[in-house]
Amino acid sequence: MTLTEIETACRRRHNAVGDDFFGQAEILQLIYEACVEYAREVKCIENVFTATTVASTQSYVFPTNLMEVKRVTYNGAKLEPINMREDDLLTLSNQASTSTGTPQYYFIWDEAVYLRPIPDAAKTLKVFGPVEPAQISVVTATLEVPSIFHGKLINYVVSEMYAKDQNFQAAGYYMGLFNTGINRDRAYWKKRKRADAMANVMDEET
């Protein structure tokens, strides 16, 4: 659905077609808020951050809209995640160690990826993960939330419209529909990503 189609559907469901009480900018903001909820709960907007490593440089900042890290690769090879204590074991408790080579491990700190060993060459670093949607400011923008979920966004917007009208019973009803949709779509998205893999496989290492 386009943003215009979603806005129209929201106005019709609320009987607010042509109602100046709900401006277009306000409805676009509500649609954006609904997209943020879907991105956070369903993790349905995915991206890959790409950078080129620099010899003797350990840390690489990734975009602030990246919600979590799912995979990190160096020169096409998957790196293993470690925590601070495991990093201490690798460096004999000297985190200032400047040992260089081909990275095999990574840990996350302050919105940055730290590599071990520290890279000794310029190679491609990729960080995979779900991201937040971009702010929606114009009706011609393209929604990043997959189209299969667009219809559910309407329930969130209509709920907030009823809340503004102080009709909290109707607001609660539509928010309930929205939350139910998120729960169902979260399960659907996980199943979709699993494809033909067995249901008992918890992660790629397993």
Residue 159 identity (one-letter amino acid): S
Q: What is the 3-state secondary structure (H, E, C) of 31-85?
A: HHHHHHHHHHHHCCCEEEEEEECCCCCCEEECCCCECCCCEEEECCEECEECCHH
**Residue 143, Cβ density class (10 Å: 0-12 exposed, 13-18 middle, ≥19 buried):** buried
Nearest partner of 10 among 67, 199, 56, 21, judged by Cα: 21
Which run of H or E residues covers position 125?
strand 124-130
Residue 148 identity (one-letter amino acid): I
Q: How much is the pTM?
A: 0.84
In this predicted model, what pLDDT tens digit does every residue of 170-204 receive, in sequence order?
999 999 999 999 999 999 998 887 766 655 555 55
pLDDT tens per residue across all 206 residues of the chain: 999 999 999 999 999 998 889 999 999 999 999 999 999 999 999 999 999 999 999 999 998 899 999 999 999 999 999 998 888 888 887 777 889 999 999 999 999 999 999 999 999 999 999 999 999 999 999 999 999 999 999 999 999 999 999 999 999 999 999 999 999 999 999 888 776 665 555 555 55
